[in-house]
Structure 1
């Protein structure tokens, strides 16, 4: 733990989030930028007919992917001297070419580009790599955990609540499977969203390229290069790439965070209702003064992470669509906080998985709640009465919820109706329907997770 860290991402929670450093640290951004610059140099040289020179710089990208930390520090030192982060990258790359004996290629570094050509591709690659290698697998594990619980409790009777009040019976597995399915669908959507990027020079027209080397089809070059970097080409760009696809990705993560936060709140309520128990390691204390406490700490922590992440991601998604005229720099500082919001999401998912694994579901208490709440049969009761032509079936069922079924039988007999019709209002069918839905959703979720291929 880094006690001097400014944010808890790099301090208190660093151990759980160490992997995020590969994508969102300053070191990671330097590395991604250098790789993009090196890949562009090789592609550019090939495009202008300098194939042998392009061949000479092959392997530079691999070297830059493995950039030692001390060389990244060197890039930062150059930045302090020149006052520009991307220029520092190009100057460092010049040094690398000199060390390889290719100083003659220095004039072609960053040829015709603007900083945002490098930045938008670098950020796109980092976001893609984080989603594919870190976030999606952890989300898949969360979905699997929820689905496993749903399968275990597919037939566990559970009294559903609407507006906080007893509604009708279902099963706990049906409730859980709903969340599993929603999160699985959102995860699949996220995995299939490919970041967009542009390569267009100062204002997006490739005008410098076309003027310097008019014989080259630069639009095709730009599209091919962006695709080779693993991103989707965006031709309608100014100096910046439109942020709509990035926004869609961030909003999808925000939706995942919001759904997961709601699940955390629901489990908190289950604890308050006495339907689940929260576990803890034997030596852990959940209160400084009350030894008996077993608090939903991990659920609460995850909820806070998800709520903060969702707000940050939603703000970024809407704000970054805006850019004055052909470019302003207000987006730069905001983009540097991609990692904070995404790391919070990852932390929330990890804590939620751990919380679910430590939670004991009190199935006997759930079943008892259903059995001791006869008014939960009011819905099916009024429907059965109406099925048999009782026009005021809704009103009778409402009164029976207070006066009891004996009163209803007498009322029906007094009207010359067969009181046995209310025996058709069996809530056991509600539990069976919950079981059937749980089984159906569990299978569908597993199909989605298999397709994720993680």
Structure 2
């Protein structure tokens, strides 16, 4: 028998040179479909397209406000020519920009040269030096990232997250009256309803979504150290503060008047904390639903041809929720790192934010992938009410709580024989198997008012759910 061959990828076919390119990360490979909507917002080409947009809009703004002598009013055709530059940025444009950057070794300068090439020979050529006028690279970058993240959140992430929250809320409403045994600390506890527990999670998720929807996206365009130094040195007569504010607000962003060379990125840290917190709450839902599946409370739909286990044919594994857990943990870790890194920049500028921000799409991608998995997982579930009922019927000891509470109320009303209610129920139930007969016998021996005794004797674990159903109906919109 021959020896086992050692693993040696260097001796095998290299994947690095294959076309189309082999993805290094799963978001661009295995999970591409779930995250692909972010490519138009948070990829490297999307960054350069946003930079082109900011540069040409600054050019147009300078002309429209006559901020610089010689910056005449543009014709409609000239404005259209400029705005077509980012709009038509395609595969050829991506390659051309990359070729320019290979020479400049500077991505923003390559954007400037790319624009100047496109106005060469046109009536705009005499105005070419308005491209990137009085700007530092970060003037363009901070506005570009703000536009990119805003678009990604509002057009991709929020709709997916809101659809998920609505799906959970719908399931909560549908199961609002389905009684379920609680398991505080993993032990049998006061019953609730399945819908009420799902409603808690839907409500928590919606609170975070409200915070994300209210997010401000800040931007600045004030020069190399935030002083408008180059602006005022070149054209001292222009109100550059107003020109800056109206430009940033015209882009749909919130103007930040006080910055160093960089916009401080605090808004990004705020946003990423909220998105990460949404993910952590969703992680809580994934682990809870996983547990309910393991208890038999939910059944999973069998998919024709799908394999649950390579060894155990009977299994349908809750893989959607497990996949979501892992991707939410990765996403939260990335968002936490971004939030911690981006709020600090040495003195007036360092470049730690530059490479960090290129991972924003990865963080959102793993979040979006998790949302997709939870949605698909929830869509394959059905409630096993028989399993829920069986667990409740095996847990009559949970009625110790309402009985001792009723005894306390009776004692306060002066009813005799109600001493030590908690301790008496503890002796009856703790460490003992309790059934309906034992509970009703105990209640029957109490000198409670008839109405109270009848109410307690009629109580079952399945009906001891308090206001759970009405809480869902009244407070989960």
TM-score normalised by the chain length of structure 2: 0.88
1:24 and 2:58 matched: no
Given the superposition, is the C-alpha separation of residues 274 and 90 from structure 1 closer, same or farther in structure 2, using an over 3 Å criterion? same
Report the alpha carbon displacement of residue 100 of structure 1 after superposing the two structures with TM: 3.2
Given the superposition, is the C-alpha separation of residues 260 and 410 from structure 1 closer, same or farther in structure 2, using an over 3 Å criterion? closer
- 2:212–2:275 Cα contact (<8 Å) kept: yes
**Structure 1 counterpart of 2:78:** 57
4+ residue runs over 6 A deviation:
405-414
Note the residue ranges of structure 1 that are not aligned, 5 or more in a row.
Answer: 444-454
Report the alpha carbon displacement of residue 398 of structure 1 after superposing the two structures with TM: 1.4
Report the alpha carbon displacement of residue 42 of structure 1 after superposing the two structures with TM: 1.1
Q: 1:31-79: per-residue Cα shift (whole Å, max 9, x none)?
A: 0000100001111233225232476631222441231211111001111
1:142 and 2:164 matched: yes
Counterpart secondary structure, 2:223 = coil
Which residue of 398, 411, 415 maps to 2:426? 398
**Structure 2 counterpart of 1:9:** 27
Which residue of 297, 300, 304 maps to 2:319? 297
Report the alpha carbon displacement of residue 361 of structure 1 after superposing the two structures with TM: 1.5
Counterpart secondary structure, 1:158 = strand
Q: 1:2-56: per-residue Cα shift (whole Å, max 9, x none)?
A: 7710110101111222111101111111100001000011112332252324766
Counterpart secondary structure, 2:26 = coil
**Structure 2 counterpart of 1:417:** 447
Report the alpha carbon displacement of residue 412 of structure 1 after superposing the two structures with TM: 7.9
Counterpart secondary structure, 1:277 = strand
Within a 5 Å distance, the mapping from 1:230-241 to structure 2 comes to 230-241=252-263
Report the alpha carbon displacement of residue 279 of structure 1 after superposing the two structures with TM: 2.4
Per residue, is there more helix in 1 or in 2? Answer: 1
**Structure 2 counterpart of 1:217:** 239
Counterpart secondary structure, 1:264 = helix
- 1:97–1:105 Cα contact (<8 Å) kept: no
1:33 and 2:51 matched: yes
Most deviating of 280-289 and 347-356: 280-289
Report the alpha carbon displacement of residue 99 of structure 1 after superposing the two structures with TM: 4.7
Counterpart secondary structure, 2:188 = strand
Within a 5 Å distance, the mapping from 1:85-104 to structure 2 comes to 85-104=107-126
TM-score normalised by the chain length of structure 1: 0.92
Most deviating of 373-382 and 316-325: 373-382
Distance of 2:382 and 2:284 partners within structure 1: 19
- 2:279–2:332 Cα contact (<8 Å) kept: yes
Q: 1:286-341: per-residue Cα shift (whole Å, max 9, x none)?
A: 21121111000111111111111011101211221010000000111110000000
Distance of 1:62 and 1:20 partners within structure 2: 22
- Which has more radius of gyration? 2
Distance of 1:411 and 1:39 partners within structure 2: 80
1:107 and 2:141 matched: no
Distance of 2:370 and 2:121 partners within structure 1: 45
**Structure 2 counterpart of 1:452:** none
Counterpart secondary structure, 2:327 = helix
> How many pairs were matched up?
442
Which residue of 20, 44, 48 maps to 2:68? 48
- 1:160–1:169 Cα contact (<8 Å) kept: yes
Counterpart secondary structure, 1:301 = helix
Distance of 1:367 and 1:194 partners within structure 2: 48
